Amino acid sequence: MKFYTAKTPKLVKWLAPSLIWEFSVSEKSIYLTFDDGPIPEVTPWVIEQLSKVNAKATFFCIGDNVEKYPEIFKQLIREGHAIGNHTQHHVNGWRTSNTSYIQNVDKAEKTFSNLIDSKKNSKPYLFRPPYGKITPSQIKRLTKLDYKIIMWDVLSADFDTTINSEKCLENVIKNTKKGSIVVFHDSLKAFEKLQFTLPKVLQHFNKLGYEFKKITI
């Protein structure tokens, strides 16, 4: 059963105003984000597609994957993309104690810092909760630790095995506007839909004069 919407409702954004759902609509800019990587089967392909239109994006990385594939993580940095924290082990905030959750976030940040020295002083940190599930107390604690919690305006649903690639593309094309934060996944589960959707999204909005930007706060 579907428990998400491709376009984040205004009510949800209103109920959680401290979270970042979208950016200014004054410029023709779109903020593509990729969750759950890096992995060798998908992330380098994503980087290649982005480079074709000089697009920059934000990758919310799982610390455990960064430890396994440090060279791909370093490639993201070299290519000028932004890095965000997606916890060390992709933990669900609704099912995890506050202490364990913060420790898992911190472990991922240390994993990043061990590979990229400049990351140690890169504040505020970007963070996206796995599954989009996070409690008010976890939000409060992360905010005190200098994290900016990045949610989304548009969900491609590339992870959803019950929809086809055409529907995934429609989710993005139909709902994306100036300032939208769009979620994709550089994961094996999402790769089939991502291969179909991402090049078409890049081509479509590039022709319309949009710029693909990484998140900088």
Residues marked as catalytic: 35, 185
- If you search the block for the tokens 């590979």, which residue do you land on? 115
Q: Which amino acid is at 47?
A: I
SS percent in the chain: helix, strand, coil, step 5: 45, 15, 40
The answer to whether the CB of 58 falls within 8 A of the CB of 84 is: yes
Strand partners, 34: 59, 184
d(CA 61, CA 34): 8
- Quote the tokens at residue 163: 């929809």
Residue 145 is given by DSSP the state T
